[in-house]
Amino acid sequence: MAKKKIDVIEDVKKKYVRMALETGNYASIARKAGISRNT
């Protein structure tokens, strides 16, 4: 169950990264998502 939860979180991160790359607003979106720009 824990593994599945991690997978979901990773999936959400990937979606945010993709969105950020598309808009070119990586830092801004990462900040809104509450995740580090390095991840």
pLDDT at 36 over 80: no
pTM: 0.43
Q: How confident is the model over 15-34, as pLDDT tens digits? A: 887 876 777 666 676 677 76
- What is the pLDDT at residue 1? 62
Sign, CA torsion 23/25/31/36: positive
Higher pLDDT, 38 or 33: 33
Quick check: 7 pLDDT over 70?
yes
- The C-alpha atoms of residue 37 and residue 32 are separated, in whole angstroms, by 11
